[in-house]
Amino acid sequence: MTTAGHHWRKFKDFLAQALTCACAVVVMAPLALVFYQVLKSGIGALSWAFFTQLPKPAGEPGGGMANAIVGTFELLGLAALLGVPVGVGGGIFLAEYGQRRVNWWVRFAADVLNGVPSIIWGMVVCALVVVPMKGFSAWAGGIVLGFIMIPLIMRTTEEVLRLVPQGYREAALALGIPRWRAILSIVARTALRGITTGILLALARVAGETAPLLFTAFGNRYWNHHLSEPIAALPLQIFNYAISPYEDRHRQAWAGALVLLLMVAIINLAVRALTRERLGKVP
Amino acid sequence: MTENQDQFNPVLPARVQPRRAPGTPGAPVSAPEASALVIRNLSVSFGENRALQEVSLDLPARAITAIIGPNGCGKSTFLRALNRLHDLVPSARVQGQVRLFGTDIYGPGVEPVLVRRRIGMVFQKANPFPTMSVADNVTAGLRLNGLRDRALLTERLRESLVMANLWDEVKDRLDAPAISLSGGQQQRLCIARALAVRPEVLLMDEPAAALDPLATARIEDLILELKESLTLVIVTHNLQEAARVSDYTAFFNMGRLVEYGATVKIFTNPAVQQTEDYVTGRFG
């Protein structure tokens, strides 16, 4: 054990630590950059009117994105209506009922679906919903976002159900409780926090989807009065404003981006709170 | 027994009357009292692995039978076969008969759910449902089977907790989370939960293995009291415990029943050398 060897070993150790530290900084930097840029450019255009008024005609300054903000929530609600029951149900099947071989195929399908580019989802739903209904609609937008949510929710639901100790299932069945009831009232109830976390993460993921909405929800300058009509959404509005030639619209696009970013950040904070409490509570 | 009890413990279709077949292969070691469970040629295998082979014995009603044997001898496999918990494991295969007061619980058309309402189970690790309060845990078996009658639920709640010697300790904190109780209390809570559906047989898989001596003593006292009203089968690693509480003892080894008889006889004058070696601590 020479001193030189000792120093060389220490240096390698230091090098490894420095490299991983640098990577961690590289992870943090883009997030800081995004927040800084969006905050700087967007905060100026945020005003009461931005949250309460409809867009003004092109070229005319002022107005807001009230319809797009509400539209995003409506679309997320519709998406959850489709994505949550199917995703949670599929996850329950995978974790509780499925045989190994069937599960392999279902998981494979979910993983492939998860990798399908969102623009393709938009085209497919356009062909399956928009064309037969003869028009863009909130329904189509909700359906496309719901489809994107399904595999995400399904896999997280399966994971958290598998974490529920087998002892609870056995205890429930040993009481003569029917299996479906034991799964719903005891197993899924025990994993509820985790399932909710998965749903929130899926919502955060689709909240900013733009491409699939281009030819489904389409966007709308006015309020959406019926779900069978086109509907405005924040990402669409941002897109349209960002490519427009007017300075005021660019500022509003930044403000829209800020609102969308905050929405996603708040959802992620909620997820943090949920998972933190879970760690503190369950023994 | 109230009328609701019938609704909650529908009698299984009486199909087969217990028949004694002396002299045939696997003839049982008969116990003198009426048998709650008559087990014939019970085998359980998981895939290629035969965990339990051709076990036949009669478990007397309102008595405590201890199942002893070294690790991996098939004790727990045997116990879990008695309320069809192996149904959960896709690779598990159960052969033979288990007759509960005359009805084969593996017979055609028999619902495992109904079997389990008559044959309850308590596990080694206390497993109260973590999202439920003390009271909700006790009544879970009734509520999740659709019982809504509040008066009856309250009555059963108290009755079960009193039977499980837990009422005095928890009567003021029935709404507290079940996992806030101590380990010994949690195990008695699980016993109360099993008693609330009024089973005829209670299976216990090493119910005191994870508890300190004081909590163990309380569980053992409780087991002795429960003998008044139901049939108990207890798997245990603790030979002193088996000797203290049980009336009959079955010694298993390598997936087979080696010897079965009155506990006093098994512990003082066993017929098989292997049993003697085990109970005197020479092997196992």
**pLDDT tens digits for A208-231?**
999 999 989 888 888 888 888 899
- Asked if the model's pLDDT at residue B11 lies above 70, the reply is no
pLDDT tens-place string over residues A22-32 = 999 998 999 89
pLDDT at site A31: 87
Closest CA to B57 of B114, B112, B98: B98
- Asked if the model's pLDDT at residue A105 lies above 90, the reply is yes
- Asked if the model's pLDDT at residue A1 lies above 70, the reply is no
Q: Which of B116, B124, B132, B206 to mutate to test the interface with A (most CBs of A within 10 A)?
A: B116
DSSP B66-81: EEE-STTSSHHHHHHH
| B114, B131, B140 member nearest A175 (Cβ) | B140
DSSP B107-127: STT--HHHHHHHEEEE-SS--
pLDDT at site B30: 47
Contact A194, A156 (CB under 8 A): yes
Q: Which of A102, A160, A168, A173 to mutate to test the interface with B (most CBs of B within 10 A)?
A: A173
Q: Which residues of A touch B (CB under 8 A)?
A: 99, 165, 167-179, 181-182, 185-186, 189-190, 192, 282-283
CB contact B209 to A (< 8 Å)? no
Query: Is residue B169 domain-resident?
Result: yes
Query: Is residue B55 domain-resident?
Result: yes
The ipTM value here is 0.83
- Asked if the model's pLDDT at residue A149 lies above 80, the reply is yes
Take residue A230 and report the two structure tokens written for it: 């086109």
Percent of chain B with pLDDT over 70: 88
Answer whether B140 sits within 8 Å of A173, measured CB to CB: no
Calpha distance A80→A94 (Å, rounded):
20
Could you give the domains of chain A? Answer: 63-281 (1.10.3720.10)
H or E stretch including B95? strand B92-100
Query: Is residue B284 domain-resident?
Result: no
| B83, B141, B179 member nearest A177 (Cβ) | B141
- Asked if the model's pLDDT at residue B114 lies above 50, the reply is yes
Could you tell me which residues come within 8 angstroms of residue A64 by beta carbon, excluding any fewer than 6 positions away? A47, A49, A50, A51, A52, A53, A54, A55, A252
Average pLDDT of span A40-55: 90
Contact A38, A257 (CB under 8 A): yes
Take residue A72 and report the two structure tokens written for it: 């995003």
Answer whether A189 sits within 8 Å of B83, measured CB to CB: no
Answer whether B144 sits within 8 Å of A171, measured CB to CB: no
pLDDT at site A71: 94
- pLDDT tier at B34 (50, 70, 90 boundaries)? confident
Alpha helices in chain A (DSSP H): 3-42, 48-52, 66-92, 100-115, 118-125, 131-133, 138-162, 166-174, 179-182, 188-190, 192-207, 211-214, 234-242, 247-281
| A174, A178, A283 member nearest B121 (Cβ) | A174
- Burial code of A172-192, b = ≥16 C-beta within 10 A, e = fewer? bbbbbbbbebbbebbbbbbbe
Q: How many domains does chain B have?
A: 1
pLDDT at site B28: 45
CB contact B133 to A (< 8 Å)? no
CATH number of the domain where residue B266 is located? 3.40.50.300
| A169, A176, A186 member nearest B145 (Cβ) | A176
pLDDT tens-place string over residues B170-220 = 999 999 999 999 999 999 999 999 999 999 999 999 998 888 888 899 899
pLDDT at site A7: 87
- Asked if the model's pLDDT at residue B256 lies above 50, the reply is yes
Q: Could you say which residues from 68 to 97 on chain B have a Cβ atom under 8 Å away from some Cβ of chain A?
A: 83, 85, 88, 90
Chain A residue closest to B84 (CA)? Answer: A174
pTM over 0.90: no
| A99, A169, A175 member nearest B193 (Cβ) | A175
Identify residue B260 by its one-letter amino acid code.
Y
Query: Is residue B161 domain-resident?
Result: yes
pLDDT at site A72: 95
- Asked if the model's pLDDT at residue A276 lies above 70, the reply is yes
Average pLDDT of span B216-229: 91
Query: Is residue B253 domain-resident?
Result: yes
Take residue B166 and report the two structure tokens written for it: 């837990």
Average pLDDT of span A3-25: 89
- pLDDT tier at A60 (50, 70, 90 boundaries)? confident
Closest approach of chain A CAs to the CA of B56, in angstroms?
A: 23
The parent domain of residue B198 ranges over 3-279
pLDDT tens-place string over residues A65-99 = 999 999 999 999 999 999 999 999 999 999 999 88
Average pLDDT of span B76-96: 92
pLDDT tens-place string over residues A168-211 = 999 999 999 999 999 999 999 999 999 999 999 999 999 999 99
Query: Is residue B109 domain-resident?
Result: yes
pLDDT at site A264: 92
Contact B16, B107 (CB under 8 A): yes
Average pLDDT of span A236-241: 93
- pLDDT tier at B14 (50, 70, 90 boundaries)? very low
- pLDDT tier at A3 (50, 70, 90 boundaries)? low
Average pLDDT of span B20-46: 66
Q: Is B49 helix (H, G, I), strand (E, B) or coil?
A: strand
pLDDT at site A2: 60
CB contact B272 to A (< 8 Å)? no
